[in-house]
């Protein structure tokens, strides 16, 4: 018997959240982002759900050609697959063309790969423009030239123009409007499609929706904006990280618990030990008091998170016992709350769920 921890993936919630994207951005097509193993949820499961759903995603996006190949080999029916950062090396172009992946071009070198290709394949290209993120993307000043050259490539069938927003999670930040203005000032041909919105902009900025929206985190049921909860946005958690109590013990007033003896009992306390630690992806920096659900009731984390275990104060659960159910985050406890308590974002928490945690599809 392995340790009782597992990540339960709620496929219906993923379908529900995809529908929520459609509700928010009725007129846009959806490029569903499933990079980083679908934000830790399992890339094949996610690709399958997003492809098979009646009104599935219009395309799916990954960060590398390996992820694209994994999906391409696993699924016979799937929407087009987009390489969000394009190809990293020239020798990835042949496979990209063979498998008909669409690809981002964010750098002149990637344009040259296409120009120097002898293949005339109907590739769909996403031209990424830097509007202020200053990470990937060609400069607006170079746009007209590169856009024209791309359209002239034999290997290129069509071009969609995209950019990425830096501050859309903070709805008060004026950066989004400045980036939008820059994006609007690009002189694209009338038939050219455009894409700007990530999850945060999908829920908060209809003026950024354009032809394609690119949801990531909201598909997985976490809130993309600081001022609204997932519940308020009617997004459903797609992962429940579940485990069990593996020990229950009494500690006397004045005794300590865990590494560093950082937590000291103020009174006689019942401590529960949960089979879940940073080796499973639980954040080591979760602060004392971070909520954990034991038998559906909130109890506070005490002491340091260890590799395989955490400890909780069971004083409000006097009858709790070995084998009782624990939820670390999921349907009843938002991963957003755990992220706040660990001083990070849900993206990181979800992506860090370790390989050793078994995934169970629900
Ligand atoms: C990851 C990514 C997204 C999705 O962002 P979320 O904040 O998770 O919605 C969208 N577009 C690009 C280019 C990305 O890299």
Q: What is the pLDDT of residues 217-242, one digit of tens each?
A: 999 999 999 999 999 999 999 999 99
Question: Cβ(25) to ligand 1 under 6 A?
Answer: no
Please tell me the pTM assigned to this model: 0.96
Q: Which residue in the list 26, 29, 35, 147 is annotated as catalytic?
A: 35
Least confident of 53-62, 94-103, 267-276: 53-62
Calpha distance 286→269 (Å, rounded): 21
> Helices 43-52 and 65-74: crossing angle, nearest 10°?
60
pLDDT value of position 121 = 77
Residue pair 93/101 in contact by the 8 Å Cβ criterion: no
Going from the C-alpha of 98 to that of each of 81, 93, 123, 251, 265, the distances in angstroms are 13, 8, 10, 64, 63
pLDDT value of position 40 = 98
Q: Which residue in the list 98, 181, 231, 259 is annotated as catalytic?
A: 259
Å from CA of 330 to ligand 1 middle: 22
pLDDT value of position 2 = 84
Q: In the predicted model, is pLDDT for residue 162 greater than 60? A: yes
Residue pair 156/127 in contact by the 8 Å Cβ criterion: no
Check if 359 is active-site: no
The predicted-structure confidence for 110-150, as pLDDT tens digits, reads as follows: 999 999 988 877 899 999 999 999 999 999 999 999 999 99
pLDDT value of position 190 = 86
Residue pair 309/282 in contact by the 8 Å Cβ criterion: no
Residue pair 28/211 in contact by the 8 Å Cβ criterion: yes
Å from CA of 231 to ligand 1 middle: 21
Q: Which of 214, 217, 218, 350 for a ligand 1 pocket mutation test, highest count of atoms within 8 Å of Cβ?
A: 214
Calpha distance 234→16 (Å, rounded): 9
Residue pair 240/329 in contact by the 8 Å Cβ criterion: yes
Calpha distance 271→301 (Å, rounded): 10
Q: Residue 288 has what DSSP assignment?
A: T
Q: In the predicted model, is pLDDT for residue 1 greater than 60? A: no
Confidence of residue 208 (pLDDT cuts 50, 70, 90): very high
Q: Residue 34 has what DSSP assignment?
A: -
DSSP three-state, residue 55: coil
Calpha distance 362→360 (Å, rounded): 6
Cα-Cα-Cα-Cα dihedral sign, residues 199, 54, 156, 152: negative
Check if 264 is active-site: no
Å from CA of 33 to ligand 1 middle: 6
Question: Cβ(32) to ligand 1 under 6 A?
Answer: no
Residue pair 270/318 in contact by the 8 Å Cβ criterion: yes
345, 60, 50: which is closest to 224 by C-alpha? 345
pLDDT value of position 38 = 98
Calpha distance 155→289 (Å, rounded): 56
Q: Where are the alpha helices (DSSP H) in the chain?
A: 11-24, 35-39, 43-52, 65-74, 93-98, 108-115, 143-151, 175-184, 199-204, 335-341, 346-351
Q: Residue 287 has what DSSP assignment?
A: P
Calpha distance 345→338 (Å, rounded): 9
Question: Cβ(83) to ligand 1 under 6 A?
Answer: no
Question: Any idea which residue has 């999850």 for tokens?
Answer: 199
Calpha distance 109→122 (Å, rounded): 20
């Amino acid at each position: 018997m392995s340790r009782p921890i597992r990540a339960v993936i709620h496929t219906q919630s993923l379908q529900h959240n995809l529908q929520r994207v459609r509700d928010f951005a009725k007129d846009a097509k959806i490029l569903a982002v499933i990079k980083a193993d679908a934000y830790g949820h399992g890339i094949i499961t996610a690709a399958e759900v997003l492809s098979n759903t009646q009104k599935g995603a219009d395309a799916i996006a990954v960060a590398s050609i390996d992820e694209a190949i994994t999906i391409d080999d696993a699924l016979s029916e799937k929407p087009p697959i987009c390489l969000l950062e394009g190809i990293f090396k020239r020798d990835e172009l042949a496979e990209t063309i063979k498998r008909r992946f669409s690809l981002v071009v964010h750098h002149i070198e990637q344009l040259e790969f296409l120009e120097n290709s002898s293949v005339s394949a109907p590739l769909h290209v996403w031209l990424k423009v830097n509007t202020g993120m200053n990470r990937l993307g060609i400069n607006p000043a170079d746009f007209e030239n590169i856009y024209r050259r791309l359209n002239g490539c034999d290997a290129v069938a069509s071009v969609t123009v995209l950019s990425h927003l830096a501050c859309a999670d903070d709805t008060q930040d004026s950066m989004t409007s400045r980036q939008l203005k820059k994006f609007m000032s690009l002189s694209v041909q009338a038939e050219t499609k455009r894409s700007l919105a990530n999850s945060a902009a999908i829920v908060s900025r209809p003026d950024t929706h354009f032809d394609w929206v690119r949801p990531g985190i909201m598909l997985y049921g976490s809130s993309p904006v600081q001022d609204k909860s997932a519940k308020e946005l009617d997004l459903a958690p797609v992962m429940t990280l579940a485990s069990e109590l593996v020990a229950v013990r009494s500690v006397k007033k004045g005794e300590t618990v865990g590494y560093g003896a950082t937590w000291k009992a103020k009174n006689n306390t019942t401590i529960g030990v949960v089979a879940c630690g940073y080796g499973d992806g639980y954040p080591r920096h979760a602060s004392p008091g971070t909520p954990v659900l034991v038998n559906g009731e909130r109890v506070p984390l005490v002491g340091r998170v260890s590799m395989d275990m955490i400890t909780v104060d069971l004083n409000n659960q006097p009858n709790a016992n070995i084998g009782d159910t624990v939820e670390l985050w999921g349907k009843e406890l938002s991963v957003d709350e755990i992220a706040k308590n660990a001083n990070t974002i849900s993206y990181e928490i979800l992506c860090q769920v370790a390989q050793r945690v078994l995934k169970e599809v629900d």
